[in-house]
Amino acid sequence: MLTQKTTQFTVPLQNKPGEIARLTQILEEEHINISGIMAETHGDEAVVRFLPEKEGAAVRRLLLGAGYMVFEKQVFELKLPNKPGEINRLLRHLIDEAVGLVSLYGTTAGDESARLILSAQPVDKAQTVLAKMAAKTHAVA
The domain ranges of the chain are 7-73, 74-140
DSSP per residue over 32-83, as a string?
--EEEEEEEEETTEEEEEEEESS-HHHHHHHHHHTT---EEEEEEEEEEESS
pLDDT at 139 over 70: no
pLDDT at 134: 84
**Residues in Cβ contact with 63 at an 8 Å cutoff, skipping those fewer than 6 apart:** 9, 11, 23, 26, 70
pLDDT (tens digit per residue) in 58-90: 999 999 999 999 999 999 999 999 999 999 999
Domain 74-140 class?
A: alpha beta
Q: What's the CA gap between 55 and 123, in Å, rounded?
A: 20
Are the beta carbons of 50 and 37 closer than 8 angstroms? yes
pLDDT at 140: 47
Q: What's the CA gap between 81 and 6, in Å, rounded?
A: 20
**Residues in Cβ contact with 96 at an 8 Å cutoff, skipping those fewer than 6 apart:** none
pLDDT (tens digit per residue) in 30-58: 999 999 999 999 999 999 999 999 888 89
- CATH code: domain 7-73 is 3.30.2130.10
